[in-house]
Structure 1
Amino acid sequence: MSSTPPRNKFPLPLDAVVERKPAPARTAGIAAVGAPRPAAPPTTATAPAKPRLPRTAAPAPAPVPASAVEQRASAATAGGGGMASARARAALAARLRAAGIRDERVLSAIATVPRHLFVEPGLASQAYEDAALPIGHQQTISKPSVVARMIELLRAGLGTDAPLQRVLEIGTGCGYQAAVLAQVAGEVFSIERIRPLHEQAKANLRPLRVPNLRLHYGDGMLGLPQAAPFSAIILAAAGMEVPEALLEQLAIGGRLIAPVAVLPPAGVPGQTVTQQLLLIERRNRHRFHRTALEAVFFVPLKSGTI
């Protein structure tokens, strides 16, 4: 982000990601020269299945630059509508830049990750709008502007070429934000408490083959102590406060960004609970600096697994 690969033509199909299966190898079932021919099968309405060649274990994928992820995204969506194109992603990034996002690494990540792979097919035409969309189980995929804003806050002070080191995400959801984080961080660990969403995120991310992203099924409020400390922690759900376990797992000098509930003033009728972004910076072992930011709206942060 090497030589430029041949460009795919757009529009590209969305159904190729999950519907199209690889054709069987043409060499399967071909007899060696001089070998006796097998007996002809009885004539039926359907041809006999060709024998399959044995599979060998594939080596673990090596880390790849953003350009390679972009190539895989284009290949995975070859033949679909205009929403699948790199042009649509670039247009989204341009709108976010105009709206105030300044971190070029974050904008590049938004322009790289194909958001339509992470939403239901019926909502794919809305994938590149700046809108939250339902993903099932009373959860949503966050607005791209909110994803970009929160990651930009985590990266504040870092240069374009400097990645975040180790990031923990609470609330994988469909996997989109985790994929964006993987473009700007050395390692990303993401936890989801809803089993079907955890499995769906794995399926959504599989075509992209992101080597520096690890998905976990578990209670996000407990964090991931076996992988701590983290240089950055990001929450995709709002609680009354940030769980103590997550503060303990934040590295000294690290940043945590989370939506939190804001209670209305006591005795004021007609007021409701609102939410705002809270940035927490860990100054030393015992000192945390908190900065309240803009109003947001997220699904609630819950404990346990389902």
Structure 2
Amino acid sequence: MTDTDPDNAERKMQFLFALRSKGVTDARVLTAMEKIDRAPFIRGYFNDRAYEDMPLPIACGQTISQPSVVGLMTQALKVSSRDKVLEVGTGSGYQAAILSQLARRVYTVDRHRRLVNEATEVFRKLDLTNITAIVGDGSFGLPDQAPFDKIILTAAAEDAPGPLLAQLKEGGIMVLPVGQSDAVQRLIRVTRNESGYEYDELLPVRFVPLVEGLGRDG
């Protein structure tokens, strides 16, 4: 697919309209999502549905989030061009690719080696050189690279994990889904300030659970 293809141009226009209609209004986020095609991050049967605003299955029993949720989470993170960002849950790599357009550096961690390898290959093909993808237990973050300006989780925890909160720079923001089941989850934003942490509830979401340890392929 190319942008000169009339059908593809129309689908991309509808894609961006859908993002705006769901509340993604930040111009930098919309530009990043227009630039990063979702299709390379979806393999096989579902590739033709890349422009639809819906989650889709990927390998290892995981999903690629619906674009409007990616956009809203990215918008809530308030990424600046000087930020160092940690993503927990690489998945398809789509969220990290969007972040790469906004941040100075993106570190992304996943417990499944296959997902990290496949995402790394897409990053290489798209020449996204400011992303480092690592196989590991993301619930512990990346102490060697801490502190981070921004942290984003693409898997639901019962509460914001302590190790990740500790790796957030003062003035930094963490965005994550929280909830004890896949039926009742809320997206929250945590801001670290001088006196501690401030929590804001954003919207209802549904994500796969955050699991400790490495995957069987890890």
User: Contact between 1:120 and 1:135, CA under 8 Å: does it hold in 2?
Assistant: yes
Instruction: Mark the runs of 5 or more structure 1 residues left unpaired by the alignment.
Output: 1-6, 12-81, 264-271
Instruction: Select the residue among 289, 303, 306 that pairs with 2:198.
Output: 289
Matched, 1:254 2:177: no
Matched, 1:10 2:1: no
Task: Report the AA paired with residue 200 of structure 2.
Answer: T
Question: What residue number does 1:165 align with?
Answer: 83
Task: Report the AA paired with residue 192 of structure 2.
Answer: R
- Output the TM-score relative to the length of structure 2: 0.92
Task: Report the AA paired with residue 100 of structure 1.
Answer: G
1:89 and 1:246 map into 2 onto residues whose CA distance is: 35
Instruction: Select the residue among 176, 186, 209 that pairs with 2:104.
Output: 186
1:280 and 1:8 map into 2 onto residues whose CA distance is: 38
Matched, 1:206 2:124: yes
CA RMSD of the aligned region, Å?
Answer: 1.9
SS of the counterpart of 1:168? strand
Q: Which has the higher helix share?
A: 2
User: Contact between 1:165 and 1:185, CA under 8 Å: does it hold in 2?
Assistant: yes
1:242 deviation in Å? 1.4
Choose 1 or 2 for highest CA Rg. 1
Matched, 1:302 2:211: yes
Larger relative contact order (CA 8 Å, sep ≥ 6): 2
Matched, 1:226 2:144: yes
Instruction: Select the residue among 57, 77, 83 that pairs with 1:134.
Output: 57
State percent identity of aligned pairs: 39
1:9 and 1:291 map into 2 onto residues whose CA distance is: 42
What is the total number of aligned residue pairs between the two structures? 214
**Residues 95-147 of structure 1: per-residue CA shift (max 9 Å, x gap):** 21132211000000110101010101311111000000000211000010000
User: Contact between 1:172 and 1:191, CA under 8 Å: does it hold in 2?
Assistant: yes
After the TM superposition, which residues 1-306 of structure 1 pair with which residues of structure 2 at under 5 Å, given as runs? 9-10=4-5, 82=7, 85=8, 87-155=10-78, 162-163=80-81, 165-261=83-179, 274-284=184-194, 287-306=196-215
Residues 8, 126 of structure 1: CA spacing in aligned structure 2 closer, same or farther, 3 A cutoff? Answer: closer
Of 289-298 and 92-101, deviating more is 92-101
1:242 and 1:291 map into 2 onto residues whose CA distance is: 12
**Residues 42-64 of structure 1: per-residue CA shift (max 9 Å, x gap):** xxxxxxxxxxxxxxxxxxxxxxx
Task: Report the AA paired with residue 58 of structure 2.
Answer: I
Q: Which runs of 4+ in 1 moved over 2 A?
A: 7-11, 85-91
User: Contact between 2:3 and 2:9, CA under 8 Å: does it hold in 1?
Assistant: no
